Structure 1
Amino acid sequence: MFDHFIWEVVVCPAAIAVTARYLADRMRPQAALTFLVAAIAAAAAACLVTLIAFALKAAAELPVTGELFHFSDRYVRADTAQVPWVSWLSVAMLALAAAGLVRAWARHRRDVRFARRYTDLPVTDGLVLLDDDRAEAFAVPGGDGRIVVTTGMRAALDDTQYAALLAHERAHLTGRHHRLVLIARLSAAVHPAFRRLTRRIDYLVERAADERAATELDDRRAVAHAIGAAALVSVGATGLRMAPSASDLRRAGAVPRRVASLLTPLRTWSPLPLVVPVAVAVFSLAWTAECVWDLGELLAAAHP
């Protein structure tokens, strides 16, 4: 069974992590987001099931388990006699994965509680205008969804920038981006190879919303200016009424990359590279099914 551990716990997650990092900036954002999250989730599920299978094997290696269920624990241990550590390493990794999943779910529940603070506020056409001097804007999923914008943000943007901001936030709601982010975070909790990908997924979520807003308004430059302006006022700049300078944009983290992408004409792209992570994920799932089958055969053969 050791080959299953190597493929499903080491090779496949690493391969998907590498290809995801490579493809993130080379594909249309929405397509890359959807396919990469699906591939990551499938690989994480395969890894989790494999760890459970090896944890069960670790339990079956104990003499007390053999006596209880009337099979040979020595026969079970012999299957991985050359690598006796693999079963118990899997137990430790499974415990870490379980703890990570609990933390990720607790964070999700905190986000849900935060969102509920805005569900009872007056809403007009899906918009809640919050009387607050801070410059903030965000989408609140749940039900029909709603967009929350503070008066501070509204005052800092002109009408064109404000329309672009609303289109961006609507794109988050219609694209169900909160679900994709949750899936990515749960997957990252299972395997460390996926943890550094969460930032890429967050970036792709924003890029997908940018492109959808640009399509809705039919004005990529307006969306680019709105992104830069909103980023600057949210970190303390006020009264911005024009496109931010390059030096200003450098203060806003990933914003320069998003703005640069919107100011660059869309290029034709081929979906073929996305086949690689998807194929690896499908292989991982199929090989995991084989792992579970092998465990069943091993335990059956261990009975006298």
Structure 2
Amino acid sequence: MFDHFVWSVVVVPPLMVVATRLLVDRLAPSLAAVILVWSAVTAAVASVVNLVVFALKAVAELPAVGRALGWSSRLVADDTAHVPWVSWLSVGLLLVVTVAVARRWRRHRRALDLAHAVPPDTGRLVMLPDQAAQAYAVPGRPGHVVVTTGMRELLTSPQFDALLAHEHAHLTSGHHRLVRLAELAAATHPALWWVARHVDYLVERAADEQAAAAVGSRRTVAHAIGVAALAARDGRNDPPGLYAASPGGVVPRRVAQLLRPRATLRSPALRVLPVSLALASLVWTGEAVYDLVELLGSARPG
């Protein structure tokens, strides 16, 4: 059974990082984001189920449990006798993952509650009287965009239209769901945190492209991103939702893609790579579950 642990918990998540590096900026951002998110979620599920399998095996190795349920705890332990630590390590890792996922989920709920504390008065735009330069999309039915007066004062009318188009693209495309799934996956494994960071970048790139198509000017969107990013860097607080241009190293990349777009590759191999890794891990995990059931059955006398 140890090979299942190695493949799904140790090997596949870092390989997802490699697949992410190959996909980013080589496929259309909206497509790349969807592929990476669902591949990361599948890999995360496979990893967690493997931890559950080995945690159950750790419990099954206890003599008291063997006597109560009628199997030989020694035979169960012998299956991984060459790596006796793996079962109890899995128990510890499973506890850490459970806490991390719960904390991430609560953080998302708090962010949404804070965002919804500013309800839309009319339509889907809220102008918030605040000199801090912020703009963000609040998901909902149908959702709305919040822009502070501080941000509005910094932008020309075309740039403001570009910012609104960007934020509305987040809402119409459901980017908050992709980001949430990616971050929950990242909570299960350190390697998937790096994948989630690139999903953040890809959904911003996807919104940039949709905004450019809506306003008819890639340069205007690029200028709006630059102004918003510089202003947000000096703001008092980060906005609670998905926002137009977060400060940091991804902004120059986004601007460069708008001003000098890189041709996307249509190679099916790139699309299949992360999906194949995730599905292989899931199949291997299914075998781990089957092996545990078979092991417990063979450990029963007679």
TM-score range, shorter chain: over 0.9
Q: Give structure 2 stretches of 5+ with no counterpart.
A: 236-244
1:217 paired residue number: 215
Equivalents in 1 of 2:71, 2:234: separation in Å? 68
Query: What are the superposed Cα offsets for residues 63-119 of structure 1, whole Å, 9 maximum, x if unpaired?
Result: 011011011101101111111111111111111111111111111111121122022
Moved beyond 3 Å, runs of 4+: none
1:290 paired residue number: 287
1:122 paired residue number: 121
Q: Give structure 1 stretches of 5+ with no counterpart.
A: 238-248
Shift of 1:271: 4.3
Shift of 1:236: 4.4
RMSD: 1.6
Matches for 1:197-208 after TM superposition, within 5 Å: 197-208=195-206
Amino acid across the alignment from 1:258: R
1:73 paired residue number: 73
Shift of 1:55: 0.3
Secondary structure, in 3 states, of the residue corresponding to 2:136?
Answer: strand
Equivalents in 2 of 1:232, 1:14: separation in Å? 33
The alignment's TM-score, normalised by the length of structure 1, stands at 0.91
Matches for 1:106-145 after TM superposition, within 5 Å: 106-119=106-119, 121-124=120-123, 126-145=124-143
Amino acid across the alignment from 2:128: L
Equivalents in 1 of 2:116, 2:164: separation in Å? 20
Secondary structure, in 3 states, of the residue corresponding to 2:145?
Answer: strand
Shift of 1:130: 1.1
1:232 paired residue number: 230
Shift of 1:268: 3.9
The alignment's TM-score, normalised by the length of structure 2, stands at 0.92
Shift of 1:25: 2.5
Query: What are the superposed Cα offsets for residues 153-204 of structure 1, whole Å, 9 maximum, x if unpaired?
Result: 1121111101100000001111111111111111111111112222212111
Secondary structure, in 3 states, of the residue corresponding to 1:138?
Answer: strand
- Maintained 8 Å contact 2:28/2:264: no
Matched, 1:301 2:298: yes
1:196 paired residue number: 194
Query: What are the superposed Cα offsets for residues 29-69 of structure 1, whole Å, 9 maximum, x if unpaired?
Result: 11110000110000000000110000000000010110110
Query: What are the superposed Cα offsets for residues 12-41 of structure 1, whole Å, 9 maximum, x if unpaired?
Result: 111112211332232211111000011000
Amino acid across the alignment from 1:298: L
1:177 paired residue number: 175
- Maintained 8 Å contact 1:228/1:255: yes
Shift of 1:274: 1.8
Amino acid across the alignment from 2:144: R
Equivalents in 2 of 1:108, 1:64: separation in Å? 41
- Maintained 8 Å contact 1:232/1:252: no
> Residue 252 and residue 300 in structure 1: after superposition, are their counterparts in 2 closer, same or farther (change >3 A)?
closer
Shift of 1:226: 1.0
Q: Which moved more, 1:14-23 or 1:29-38?
A: 14-23
Secondary structure, in 3 states, of the residue corresponding to 2:84?
Answer: coil
2:242 paired residue number: none
Shift of 1:135: 1.3
Equivalents in 2 of 1:206, 1:18: separation in Å? 21
Equivalents in 2 of 1:223, 1:94: separation in Å? 44
Equivalents in 1 of 2:215, 2:56: separation in Å? 55
- Maintained 8 Å contact 1:203/1:254: yes
Equivalents in 1 of 2:248, 2:62: separation in Å? 55
Matches for 1:1-304 after TM superposition, within 5 Å: 1-119=1-119, 121-124=120-123, 126-236=124-234, 252-272=248-268, 273-304=270-301
Amino acid across the alignment from 1:48: V
- Maintained 8 Å contact 2:185/2:192: yes
Equivalenced residues, count: 290
Shift of 1:281: 0.5
- Maintained 8 Å contact 1:42/1:282: yes
Percent identity between matched residues is 52
Secondary structure, in 3 states, of the residue corresponding to 1:129?
Answer: strand
Secondary structure, in 3 states, of the residue corresponding to 2:137?
Answer: strand
- Maintained 8 Å contact 2:130/2:148: yes
Q: Which moved more, 1:107-116 or 1:195-204?
A: 195-204
